[in-house]
Amino acid sequence: MMMCCLANVSGKVQGVFFRASCQQVAIDFQLSGYAKNLSDGDVQVLMCGEEENINKMLAWLEEGPEQAAVSSVQHKNVPWQDHNHFSIG
């Protein structure tokens, strides 16, 4: 099933290549969307694609790249959005 999920990732997630790593993992899982820094220090991630691959991405977000220290991931399903690729904002 195709769907979109919006996640907010908290912790030490800015300045540790989180968004770039996120982009590569999303591409590997054939997801579109984006990863962008928020002013409060979190990273927001929109993932659109197959539900199974979104679940894999959510599991990856719990850990993030080696330099990151994820403290929490809040996520919710959102209406479908058309994105041609996974971008970094």
Catalytic annotation, residues: 19, 37
Token output for 61: 């977000």
Mention every residue, 6+ apart, whose C-beta is less than 8 A from residue 62. Answer: 70, 73
Token output for 33: 């969307």
